[in-house]
Amino acid sequence: MIGNISRPRFKGRINQPGWGVRLLALVSLVLVACASSEQITATDLWGRPSPGSATNAAFYGTILNHGAELEELVAADIEICGQTELHKSTLDENSVMSMQHVEKIVIPPGEMIQLEPGGLHIMCIDRQADLDPGDLIPIGLQFANFGELSVEAEIREQ
Ligand SMILES: [Cu+2]
Give the per-residue pLDDT at 25.
Answer: 61
Measured in Å, residue 142 CA sits from the centre of ligand 1 at: 18
Ligand 1: centre distance to CA 126 (Å): 12
Residue 110 to residue 19: CA distance in whole angstroms? 35
Distance from C-alpha of 76 to C-alpha of 139, rounded to nearest angstrom: 7
Spacing, Cα 129 to ligand 1 middle (Å): 18
- Ligand 1 centroid to residue 41 C-alpha, Å: 22
pTM, entire model: 0.75
Cα angle, residue 71 at apex, residues 69 and 72 outer, rounded to 5°: 160
CA 55 to ligand 1 centroid distance, Å: 12
Q: What is the pLDDT of residues 107-148, one digit of tens each?
A: 999 999 999 999 999 999 999 999 999 999 999 999 999 999
Q: How far apart are CA 97 and CA 13, in angstroms?
A: 61
Nearest one of 142, 136, 140 to 105, comparing CA atoms: 142
Q: Distance from the CA of 120 to the center of ligand 1, in angstroms?
A: 8
What residue ranges define each of the domains in the chain, with the CATH number in brackets?
Answer: 40-155 (2.60.40.1890)
